[in-house]
Amino acid sequence: MQSRRDQVQAQTYVLGRLTGALVSAEPDGLENPNRRMVVGAISGLLVAALVVAGFTIYGFIVPGGSSKWRAAGALVLEKETGTRYVFVDGTLRPVLNYSSARLLFEKEPKVVSVSTRSLKEVPHGQPVGIVGAPDALPAPGTVAAQAWTVCALANRDQAGALSTATTLTIERVVDGPRRDRPLGADDAIVATAAGESFLVWRGRRLRIAEPWLARVLGYDRSAFAVEAGWLESVPVGPDLAPLTIPGRGTAGPVIDGRQAHVGELFVARTASPPERRYLLQRDGLAELTPLAYTIAAADPETTKLYGGRPAVPFELSPGALAQLPVSRQAVLPAGLPETPPRLAEVAGGGTWCVRHTMADGGVEVTADLPVLASAAVRDGVGLTRTSRTAARVAVEPGVGGLVLAGRVDQAAGSGFYLVTDAGVKFPLASGAVAEQLGYPSAGARPVPRRLLEMLPTGPLLESALARR
């Protein structure tokens, strides 16, 4: 009887013949068909072991990997923690923010990512940079495509008293339907602040110099109270005031057989328009616009010429109209409307806003602007605010840029500010600092100083301060 060993050998022999037949088509071959597979596997393991051993030996000889981060102008970024360093005099010093890094290198730094292990044996020093300087910088050249909007946001306290808070919104100007409703060219609103009333018309504020003017023009019941900052964001226009008439009450020429006096009102019946109104000045007749006539007729100084009676204009014959000279003196200053604008209304819960377009410097009054998600202005690290700072500031993400404080014709090189989407403005020491941050100083966009004052102010950005 065959032993178990004989059976195993017989089975192995049969399997070997089958394997040889399948692999090499020679069941009776003398060479083991699995030899190549075994030799290849063992050889691969030996090669892999040699490679691992080589890298291990290299790691002991040259620890820490690449040393590119030691080069000048490199901003070291620690992979595991995200901490930024600069390598100065053999010491790694943490950089407080990205803008400080740019000011340190006076250009865009080269970021080199390094592992924590590579930096473990390097001495670490004190942080360097400007506390509170921005980390995220807006793209250059975007200010021209922005709109800065100042709104009077109504608030009601727990006692039910209504007040307004000034908000500032900075966003991109996009094509398509607007989120606000511009005020019509013939419409106006009346705003009051600090005891004074103003007619806001066509992007200008006209101070109503006398209380009786508001009553005569019908502007005494529709005024809304705003903060002074809201009004100051509207460019100044001429005062809406009584007419200045030199020599009022002195004797003038004889008109249609009657002794006339300077300051009296006249009316002439003509073909077109059917009725014209005039004011007698020392050098002749001055034609009055509807607004000027309304002011002149209601002026208490004019009623004195009529013995305290209502100022009814005298009829002017065609002959007298043809003979009397035309006055060269302006009755009203330029910039006032010819007819009293009609007052606009805003729906309940709405608000009035002043929109400044940076592309052309245009200013317009708008209504019902939904306020973007805004944050109340609070004190922060390195931030300062004043009584002129807006209560809330909303800035569209990625919006901001390099601006100049002042008028469009302001001399370049003064009053540079960097505005970020955090709703903060940072004063720059010079145009060179703007260049170091990646903003061409020649591309700075003028922004009215009053608008900039609504933003909280961050620390001064300067290369010397960044090195401390």
Q: Are 134 and 420 in contact (CB under 8 A)?
A: yes
Residue 137 lies in a domain: no
What is the pLDDT at residue 50? 80
Do both 377 and 318 map to the same domain? no
Rounded to whole angstroms, the Cα distance separating 151 from 226 reads 10
Domain count, the chain: 4
Do both 463 and 407 map to the same domain? yes
Rounded to whole angstroms, the Cα distance separating 244 from 263 reads 10
Residue 264 lies in a domain: yes
Do both 21 and 94 map to the same domain? no
Do both 75 and 25 map to the same domain? no
* Nearest alpha-carbon partner for 463 in 183, 97, 130: 130
What SS3 string covers the chain?
CCCHHHHHHHHHHHHHHHHHHHHCCCCCCCCCCCHHHHHHHHHHHHHHHHHHHHHHHHHHHCCCCCCHHHCCCEEEEECCCCCEEEEECCEEEEECCHHHHHHHHCCCCEEEEECHHHHCCCCECCCECCCCCCCCCCCCCCHHHEEEEEEEEEEECCCCCEEEEEEEEEEECCCCCCCCEECCCCEEEEEEECCEEEEEECCEEEEECCHHHHHHHCCCCCCEECCHHHHHCCCECCCECCCCCCCCCCEEEEECCEEEECCCEEEEECCCCCEEEEEEECCEEEECCHHHHHHHHHCHHHHHHCCCCCCCCEEECHHHHHHCCECCCCCCCCCCCCCCCEECCCCCCCCEEEEEECCCCCEEEEECCCCCCCEECCCCCCCECCCCCCCEEEECCCCCEEEEECCCCCCCCCCEEEECCCCCEEEECCHHHHHHCCCCHHHCEEECHHHHHCCCECCCECHHHHCC
**Residue-number span of the structural domain to which 258 is assigned:** 250-323
Among candidate residues 18, 44, 61, the one where a domain is terminated: 61
Do both 76 and 44 map to the same domain? no
Residue 336 lies in a domain: no
What is the pLDDT at residue 414? 59
Strands 251-255 and 258-261: antiparallel
What is the pLDDT at residue 22? 60
Do both 396 and 458 map to the same domain? yes
Residue 349 lies in a domain: no
Do both 74 and 44 map to the same domain? no
Residue 220 lies in a domain: no
Among candidate residues 118, 133, 158, the one where a domain is terminated: 118
Task: Give φ, ψ of 84 to 5 degrees.
Answer: -105, 140
Residue 334 lies in a domain: no
pLDDT tens over the chain, length 468 residues: 567 777 666 777 666 666 666 655 555 655 555 566 666 777 777 877 787 777 667 555 555 555 677 777 788 888 888 899 888 888 899 999 999 999 998 888 888 888 888 888 888 989 999 999 999 999 998 899 999 999 988 776 666 666 788 999 999 998 888 878 888 999 999 999 988 999 999 999 999 999 999 999 999 888 888 899 999 999 999 999 999 999 999 999 999 999 999 999 999 988 777 889 999 999 999 999 999 999 999 999 999 999 889 999 999 999 999 999 999 998 999 999 999 999 998 766 578 999 999 988 899 999 876 556 656 666 677 888 888 999 889 999 999 999 998 765 444 445 899 999 999 999 999 999 999 999 998 889 999 999 999 999 999 999 999 887
Among candidate residues 83, 99, 118, the one where a domain is terminated: 118
Residue 13 lies in a domain: yes
Instruction: Residue 422: give its domain's CATH number.
Output: 3.30.2390
Residue 444 lies in a domain: yes
Instruction: Residue 78: give its domain's CATH number.
Output: 3.30.2390.20
Instruction: Residue 285: give its domain's CATH number.
Output: 2.40.50.910
What is the pLDDT at residue 360? 87
Do both 79 and 48 map to the same domain? no
Do both 298 and 268 map to the same domain? yes
Do both 33 and 98 map to the same domain? no
What is the pLDDT at residue 66? 59
Do both 38 and 79 map to the same domain? no
Do both 47 and 99 map to the same domain? no
Q: How far is CA 100 from CA 55, 105, 353, 397, in A?
A: 39, 9, 36, 21
